[in-house]
Structure 1
Amino acid sequence: MKILKLLIVVILVSSCNTKNQDAIANTEDYNKFLVANEIKTTSKYFDLWNSKIRPDSMQLTSFGVVGGEYSRYFQQTGAIEYLKKAEKSLKKAVDIANIGKAGFYRSLARNYISQHRFKEALELAKAAEAIGGDKTETQRLFFDVHMELGNYQLAEAYLDSLKNMSDFGYMIRVAKWNDYKGDLDTTINFMEKAKRKAELSKNKELMLWSYTNLGDYYGHAGRIADSYQHYLKALEIDHNNAYAKKGIAWIVFSNDKNTEEAIRILDSVTKTNNAPDYFLLKAEIADYAGNDLIRTKNLDEYFTRVKDKAYGDMYNAYNLDLYIGETKQYDSALLLAQREVGNRPTPESYSWLGYSYLKNGNIEQAKTIMDTYVYGKTFEPALLYQAAVVYKANGNQERVKEIKEELIGAIYELGPGMEKQVHDL
């Protein structure tokens, strides 16, 4: 009996580092993209316009151009300083603009969306609407902001006002709307149409957007090979695209079960990209592999970065996960979840609130929140898992069984580290 138990333990431990025989990723496909090329955060174009800005400057065009370039640098490097510099430039443009002010309001609103300052973004959208100008762009902005705020009826109304089956901006928003509703087939259908339009226009920025988003959606649908190919397509356009590399790393980890290779891919990303969440993902993979040294190192890197106050509320959801799962700071989790609900009252925020109440021992309040704001209002596996845990604590086995059946089909999305937790529901 002791020998049998030992054999079982050995099998379980070794399985974490055993490659999946049905592996999809091939190092020959993406190795050339893992070279850590230095990200350029300046150019003659940028220097020209930046040189025109002085303390008393009224060079409106300069502020708009420089703000746009700083936003691009943020996307490429993940360095929060560039997003904040973009905000500063765009605020100055708003202050001095007489012509084109609505456009600067919209640009600043999108900056605030990136910073998770959604309510401020909504006020800027209203300011742009009051001025007039490009009505379609303002309606797109309203849709985006209301989706982030969980105002889904308003978002749908703005989507209806945008209806144009030949417009890329409309198609990607219809895709997002159907993803929210849980209709993945329709989501993919519209995103594929958007991709074809982007390819016909040969617009590399739109093609990149299409490929990375389709990579995500195909993954949700279990079409892992298609997901992989689209992340590769994205890297062909932008060799440094951190998001596409992260997508491939997830495939290597969650599907191929090759933890060492997944971390190697992400190591190439974090050499040039400072976004904290990449370190958190490395910690998750290392945890599954049982490598406590790499796990701890990357958790420390994450915590060091998010201490920067410039991040504001951008990493609240990640921090909630750590408060509950890692540091067991349940009181802090509850306070942060309440703050997040105030910022964006979405099913995700409420799910964290309910989960935090559960961890603080208030299982009835946790269930009430899940019943009212989460169950039937989201199809995100991570949130459904939290709901299932709450329902299990409240003895609602029928609902737990129902959710568990969905979660078993979503192990790829949840990650292999969650497989046992799902089966234990």
Structure 2
Amino acid sequence: MGGVVLGSPVAMSSVQEQEAISRLMAFFKEWDNGNKVTRSRILRNFISFNQGKMVPELEQEFSQGGSLFLARLTTWLRLSYMLGTCLKEILQSLWIFLSASGSSRYKVEFVEVGGILTLLEILGLKQINEESKMEALRILQVLARAGRKYKELICESYGVRAVAECLAKSKMEDTQEQAQMLLELLAHGNPKYHSQVYKGLIALLPCTSPKAQHLVLQTLRIVQDIVPEPHPAIVEPLLGALRSVHMEVQYEALQLIKELMKTEVRSALLQGLVMLLIPSRKYGDKAKPQILEDPAAPQMSDPLPSFIQQAACAKAIGMLARESAELCHEMIRMRVVHHLLFAMGNTDHTESQRQASLALEYFVSVSPVVEEQVRIATGEKLFQMLMENAEMLYMKLNPIQVDVLVSNQVNIPGIKEVTE
């Protein structure tokens, strides 16, 4: 009476629920009592069978107890991350939960128990392998994509510094790329902290990893459009990036310089480019913060980096002059002709000579005043050699002509001397 008839749908449902709950309790008992080997096996199985599942599917898998397993994962992470025990598998399992469609509740639960701080600490530990750090970065990206609140939480937890250090120190390109992606995410839609991300990227520019420099320059070009105006501190490390022997780094630096010509730091950049045609120790030789140093990176001593920088500056000057008549005339007023002639006489670095000759040829072609003064300074024969084949001029110079170039005193009326 009033009882449930055996075999009815309600009874079957109740029996199935009880069985599911029993399986779940057995699963948790195995986890709670299991050693490292047992838990590793459980995690591998979970990862294999639950990739790409949505929250309802995960909840069905755990009989509506998905949060209970998430809590166990988070607890074990916090207890064992410094030892690295099954760390990669734990992080991959957490990623499945937190990246699942409709996982807002999971994200809140993870953050409330200090998950963000734990992930950021993982990034800074030397004993943690690169693969695990990459997984931690992927989870932080998932959180950052969840909205401004999570981006602010990451930044408030000193996340920009932790991610920047990871980018500078990492030995794996995949990890560096994940760190770069996270920094870019933290800059977008995060007005309270986008300046912090921007300044963090500037601080990374002098790092010794060419891959990191390349990624930082790419990201700066994107973030520069987000911040209201460029910070003056960008000028020196950006010019310093021109010392790199890696063409991809130089290319990104030149592109960023080109874009910054539309901003308030234009004059400082132009002055720096012109000054560096005569190498000095002002740019790029200051001690780098220790976090940016890579002891394993090959170290070059002067004068080679300065000559590489000199050639890159000559190339930048020629590029900017060709793209803007205004910039062209501004550099002429900065005594660029005198400095280009000096660089043309740098017999220790043929690329400096070549780039300086090509740039000077352009200035001569657009300014009759420059043409006249260069002709006077170099003499008719050397001037004709320049105009006939600027790119190959360096191969034809004799010692007397080199001396003429280095000691030139071109004085175009109305120009100003560039001072350090």
After TM superposition, the score normalised by the length of structure 1 is 0.31
- The structure showing larger relative contact order (alpha-carbon pairs under 8 Å, at least 6 residues apart) is 1
| Larger-Rg structure | 2
| Greater share of residues in helix | 1
After TM superposition, the score normalised by the length of structure 2 is 0.31
